[in-house]
Amino acid sequence: MKFLLAVFLLSSAYEVIIPRNEKLCFGEDISADTLLVCEVHMRDMKSHSTISISLIDKDGTILHQKGPVKEDKFSLISTNAGSHSLCIQNNQPMSSVVNFSITSGVAAKDYSNLSLAKDLKESERRVEKMAESMKEIQKELQTIKDRDAEMTYTNETIQSRVIIYSFITIVLLLSLAILQMMYLKRFLKSKKMI
């Protein structure tokens, strides 16, 4: 199994060639409670080739699995933050060309249906989209702050351990130097050189 870690922006579409009987995984780091829409289809829909598709979260839990299929479109809301992997398995003894797109966050939400359902004007729909974008930015900022606090704690812990280790090393080296001097002095006295 080959694993490719890709950092996707808000919306991305890719075309890959999957070798025969191979599995390729593409990862995206998304925060909790984020909408994720995936669309996967084979370029040559007329062939007898099929693929298997699975979406796995950072804990190894399978969130979506389907196959063998020629195409699949699904959406879900992430329950936990972290790297989510879209894995595509080529089930055939020949290479397959697969197109896939992953959209997450505000870009994944369809606002055209929202404006029809709530009878909103174009400007109101844009304001709604901007408000959700701001919420997503605030959530990402909070995630970054949490990670920064965790890294700061880790850094301070490692720093204190290095200081303790350095102090113990210096004490041991000084003790060893004193013991060597005492041994050498005793040795030279026994040989009557001092």
- pLDDT tens per residue across span 122-175: 777 778 778 888 888 898 899 899 999 999 999 999 999 999 999 999 999 999
101 residue type, one letter:
S
- In angstroms, the CA 161 to CA 169 distance is 12
Q: What is the DSSP letter of 193?
A: -
Beta strands per DSSP E along the chain: 2-5, 11-18, 23-30, 35-42, 51-56, 62-69, 71-77, 82-90, 96-104
Inside any domain, residue 20: yes
Q: Which residue has the higher pLDDT, 123 or 118?
A: 123
Inside any domain, residue 152: no
Which CATH number does the domain housing residue 77 bear? 2.60.120.380
What is the token pair recorded at 63? 């969130």
CA 192 to chain centre: 71
- pLDDT tens per residue across span 41-94: 777 655 666 788 888 888 888 888 877 777 778 777 777 877 888 888 887 777
End-to-end CA distance of the chain: give it in Å, rounded: 73
Inside any domain, residue 185: no
Domain range enclosing 41:
2-109
Inside any domain, residue 139: no
Inside any domain, residue 126: no
- In angstroms, the CA 83 to CA 131 distance is 25
Inside any domain, residue 123: no
Q: What is the phi-psi region of residue 184: left when phi exceeds 0, alpha when psi lies from -120 to 50, beta otherwise?
A: alpha
Q: How many CB atoms lie within 10 A of CB 30?
A: 22
Inside any domain, residue 37: yes
For the question of whether the overall pTM of this predicted structure is more than 0.85, the answer is no
Question: Residue 38's beta-bridge partner residues?
Answer: 74, 102
Inside any domain, residue 102: yes
127 residue type, one letter:
V
Taking 60 as the threshold, does the pLDDT of residue 110 lie above it?
Answer: yes
Q: How many domains does the chain have?
A: 1
